[in-house]
Amino acid sequence: MTANFQKSFIAVHVGAGYHSIAMTDAYKEACQNACLAGLAKLDAGEHALEGAAAAVAVLEDDQITNAGTGSNLNLHGNVECDASIMDGERLLFGAVGALSGVKNPISVAKEVVKEQIKGQMSLGRVPPSVLVGNGALKWACDHDIGVVSGSDMISQKALSAYRKHKQRLMEVEQEARLSAKRSKLDADIEDIVNTPENSLLESIISTPEESLLDTVGVVCMDAKGNVCSASSSGGIALKHPGRVGQTGIFGSGCWAQNGNTDTASVACCTTGCGEHLMRTLLAKECYDSLTGSDNASLAISTVFKNKFLESPMLNGVKFKFGGALVVKCWGHDDVELVWAHTTKSMCIGYMMSGEKKGKTVMSRLSDTSVAGISLSVGGKHFHT
């Protein structure tokens, strides 16, 4: 699907979690800015890969998001980021994980894809698809991607949230030590810290004033009909150093694939609890569901119910937190955008060539719904 396209399209999200009413305008503005930056690249004739990366970079630079500068801090008080991007034309995927010291991790993921486009390296070596930690940082330096001090990526908001969460963790562990018998100390600490199962996760996703939301993402289509998806995240608060979430995992954080005369082009990015999304390969599942259905909203509803909320891979997990943003393109004049989330809210922005300003949606669960159990699905069907 690379002929007769004239207009471009882009959609973004700023995480699935809970977005306070007081901050709604700020979240929507972040979406607007990202759409403008990405669409400017696409309307200039650049590939979908460039448009997606440009939009994500804007979101990484905005400290209202949990990506790039201002991300959540890990257990040791440092910023470690994941980012990924998938080129639907060439079916190439590039990602970085647990990367510190790079302001825009998506720029490294994009260059990883570009390195793959070149083909084999010297001596027939296979170019990498995923780089993590210090190896990813060294690769960024070798490819002239700017490096900053780790402290420069810590925002005051993220630091304040880290201190609150760390204090809570210390209090729980201290309570366990004081109440447990010495012979059962280790077992009791584990029981108390982990009961209920998702106590810290639920608190973080439900209380934005204490923590940033998870994972920003972009899906787009360029003027030639190529699709691309991208994602970036600072991960969940107090994550273990070195932890990589769904953003850095193939098939979990993003998926993009150009169609042909018989299939639509599809791009998808996910957001939520990384471990839940990794175990269900949700991005790839969304793609598979859309290629076999004429109703995108119904397909996404079904895949969330059967492959996420009721997935055997998440047996024992009471609350499943996830979201997805998907675009499906049939030819040059038929584009369908769908979003879904099991969290309390998800903020989305989208924009098409010829528009001066993108549109934004703050999707929320109903008052009678339960985050982690209920599902909200929305979408737009329009022509390019």
Give the pLDDT confidence score for residue 309 in this predicted structure. Answer: 98
pLDDT value at 145 more than 90: yes
Q: Report, as an integer, the average pLDDT of 97-111.
A: 97
Q: What is the pLDDT of residues 204-257, one digit of tens each?
A: 544 444 445 678 999 999 999 999 999 999 999 899 999 999 999 999 999 999
Give the pLDDT confidence score for residue 192 in this predicted structure. Answer: 43
Q: What is the pTM of this model?
A: 0.91
Q: Report, as an integer, the average pLDDT of 267-277.
A: 96
Top-level CATH class of 9-152+209-382?
alpha beta
Candidate list 65, 69, 215, 271, residue with the active-site label = 215
Q: CA angle, corner 321, sides to 202 and 288, nearest 5?
A: 175
Token pair for residue 186? 């280790």
Quick one: three-class SS letters along the chain? CCCCCCCCEEEEEEEEECCCHHHHHHHHHHHHHHHHHHHHHHHCCCCHHHHHHHHHHHHHHCCCCCCCCCCCCCCCCCCCEEEEEEECCCCEEEEEEEECCCCCHHHHHHHHHHHHHCCCCHHHCCCCCEEEHHHHHHHHHHCCCCCCCHHHHCCHHHHHHHHHHHHHHHHHHHHHHHHCCHHHHHHHHHHHHCCCCCHHHHHHHHCCCCCCCECEEEEEECCCCCEEEEEEECCCCCCCCCCCCHHHCCCCCEEEECCCCCCCEEEEEEEECHHHHHHHCHHHHHHHHHHCCCCHHHHHHHHHHHHHHCCHHHCCCCCCCEEEEEEEECCCCCEEEEEEECCCEEEEEEEECCCCCCEEEEEECCCCCCCCCCCEEEEEEECC
pLDDT value at 1 more than 50: no
pLDDT value at 200 more than 80: no
Amino acid at 272: G
Distance of CA 176 to CAs 25, 75, 194, 200, 250, Å? 42, 19, 11, 16, 39
Q: What is the pLDDT of residues 55-83, one digit of tens each?
A: 999 999 999 999 999 999 999 999 999 99
Q: Confirm if 265 and 225 have CB atoms less than 8 A apart.
A: yes
Residues whose CB falls within 8 Å of the CB of residue 22, separated by 6 or more in sequence, listed in order: none
Q: Report, as an integer, the average pLDDT of 328-334.
A: 82
Clarify whether 24 is annotated catalytic.
Answer: no
Q: Which of 99, 109, 57, 108 is nearest to 74 (CA)?
A: 99
Domain boundaries, the chain: 9-152+209-382
130-132 and 92-99 beta bridge pairing: parallel
